[in-house]
Amino acid sequence: MKNIRQIGAIMTIILSLVTACSKAQRPAGDEKVSLSGKKVLIVYLSRTNNTKAIAQIIQTKVGGTLVSLELVNPYPQNYQTIVQQVANENASGFLPPLKTKIDGIGQYDIIFLGFPTWGMQLPPPMKSFLKQYDLSGKTIVPFNTNAGYGIGSTFATVKELAPKSRVLDGFTTKGGIERDGIQFVMEGEKATLVTNEVGAWLKKLGLVN
């Protein structure tokens, strides 16, 4: 009888360990999040206003405070010039100082981060934001626009720069192609399509019904 009890105790311990390991290995993005009682902040960087349009769509669906990231020294308007400047900043690790100041960021529970893909990387101003503010314990929800080449290392860098935050599965869509003179595209059928895609994404995350 004693042996049976000992075996039962051992089996219980093993089962607990297996369950714990299973939970630890489950990606954070697979778990749904509730907005109930949560304060939402939507921070975005947008040069051609495509990412801004996504940020506004998100705000209409979940509410929250919308904030545009602006720099102390704005980037030049010329496309080739900004491409070279951003490449130099990425190579040197330079973090451009932000003009935007967010007071009381600690009050927010869920932070949406929106940005374009620049040189297949996270734009330096967004790196500045993640370095400047302590987002420990917060839920981060990234969203992205790109010229057709995808997210690159952007989402991975968000996770790297916010190691104490919970980063959910992000959203991405094709925006403008500034290199080819194609700027704002989030209008007409494209706007309708993206609005529906954003809604489906937020529903999958459990952020809307």
pLDDT in tens, 81-125: 999 999 999 999 999 999 999 999 999 999 999 999 999 999 999
Q: At what angle do helices 154-161 and 124-132 cross, to 10 degrees?
A: 20
Which residues of the chain register pLDDT less than 70?
1-31
Can you list the domains of the chain with their CATH numbers? 32-205 (3.40.50.360)
CA distance 70 to 47: 10
Q: For residue 31, what pLDDT is reported?
A: 61
CA distance 138 to 154: 19
Q: For residue 77, what pLDDT is reported?
A: 93
Q: Which residues of 41-76 are buried (b: 16+ CB within 10 A; e: fewer)?
A: bbbbbbbbbbbbbbbbbbbebbebebbebeeeeebe
**C-alpha torsion 159→164→165→168, nearest 10:** 50
DSSP secondary structure code for residue 74 in this structure: P
CA distance 136 to 145: 25
Q: For residue 17, what pLDDT is reported?
A: 37
On whether the CB atoms of residues 108 and 138 are closer than 8 A, the answer is: yes
Structure tokens at 23: 């939970």
Structure tokens at 97: 């100082």
The pTM of this model reads 0.85
Q: For residue 105, what pLDDT is reported?
A: 97
Q: Single out the residue of 54, 51, 60, 42 nearest to residue 129, CA to CA.
A: 42
